[in-house]
Amino acid sequence: MRVAFASDHAAVSLKAVLIARAVELGHEVLDLGTDGAASVDYPDYGFALADALADGRAERGVALCGSGIGIAIAANRHPGCRCAQVAEPLSARLARTHNDANAIAMGARLIGDAQALACLEAFLTAEFEGGRHAARVDKLSRAPEKTA
């Protein structure tokens, strides 16, 4: 599987750790940057990750910034991206199995390397269960219906 990774300056070190593990697990990697400590804008990298997923350059994505929040919001602006912010492996697994997430986001300032690695592995090994979850996931791609 090809996995895209994108981070801002706050998460460059964590991105390197996660990329190394993805390669060890036999995955291809698409590194969308950034590569240094110079300040950059996380939306640019969230958008790049979502584009890579939507156009088929990657099957899964990992978005990283200081908190994981901003880059997740940016990635989710693209209708082809379902990015779940996670902080432990159960959420990473459920994001795949129940929500068919094609990306996860993590905060380098909030999660340690070991926990991030556990999240990565849970996300990459889980598959969407479909079934009762499929109709709900389909709704994520449509405009919301009026409820009142």
DSSP state of 13: H
Catalytic residues: 65, 98
The Cα 51–Cα 46 span in angstroms is 9
The Cα 20–Cα 43 span in angstroms is 24
Residue 4: strand pairing partners = 30, 61
The residue type of 89 is: P
